Structure formats: structure tokens, C-alpha cells
Amino acid sequence: MAKILALLTCIFFSSAALAQKPLVWELLALTTYQTDLDEYGNLQYTPKFPSNLENDFEQVEVAISGYLIPIDLEAQTYALSKNPFSACFFCGNAGPETVIELRFTKPPGRFATDAFLMIKGKLILRRDGGGIFYILQNAEIHG
């Protein structure tokens, strides 16, 4: 009986530690978008998210791996990319569905560009076309 109780305790605490839902880039790639010009003539991407992303992942704590891309080190602004910097969205070599804006709970410290990391945070879907489609709120380095 004690062994069963110990096993159940381990399972409970393991599942609590793994409370993040795994998110994969292949699901994010199902997002479609249209391009328009805003009132200033700038290109704007308006996303249409797949229903399973909206229903199963929006406002949920997720974990995803990717390449850390520093956007503005002074402002502590980072993105996570499916691809390394040389092939990322910001270099014109990938689509907007391949990057996630990271909003860290506390500054993550210094990392080399293209550090491959797992990040966890609450997934926010940005529908207004005013920036990166995905945001990880309360982001933290995971693992």
C-alpha cells in the first residue's frame, strides 16, 4: 500500500510540474493571414487562427522550443523563432507564423542569438494585425 501511495504521489507532483501544454510549430503553421496596408502605407498581417489553436491553447500556459532572437536588448524585448536568426521572419526568410513575442516576468539575462531554448508562458493570440500573431505572457525559460 505504501508503494502505491508513493507512486501516486510521484505521478501527482510530476504532472503538476508539467502543467504546461506542449505547443508545436506545426500547429502554429496552420494559421493563415491576409496582408493589407494600414493608414500609413505599412504592410499589416491579419491572422486567421485554426479553431483548435483558439479552443485548446488560447490563454493556456504552454511550453515551446525555439531560437531566442533579441529584438531590443536595452528594452529587454525578445522573440522566439522556429528558425535561426539568418532564416527568421525578421530577415524576410519565413512567415509571421514562425515567431512568438516573449513577455518575460523578469529579465532573462543575456543569451547568445540563436540560443535554442524551451520557453513557457500563457499563449495570447493577437487578432488585430498590429504585431506578431502570438505572445507568450509571463514567459520564463523552462528546463
pTM for the full predicted model? 0.80
In this model, does residue 10 exceed pLDDT 50?
no
Q: Write out the three cell numbers for 17.
A: 510540474
pLDDT in tens, 41-100: 888 889 999 999 999 999 999 999 999 988 887 777 889 999 886 656 655 667 788 999
Please state, as a whole number, how many other Cβ atoms lie within 10 Å of the Cβ of residue 117: 16
What is the separation of C-alpha 84 from the centre of its chain, rounded to a whole number of angstroms?
Answer: 15
Q: Residue 87 has what pLDDT?
A: 58
What is the predicted pLDDT for the residue at 18?
A: 54
Could you tell me the CATH number of the domain that includes residue 52? Answer: 2.40.50
Judge whether 131 lies within some domain. Answer: yes
Which residues form the domain of 62? 20-141
The number of folded domains in the chain is 1
**Would you say residue 8 lies in a domain?**
no
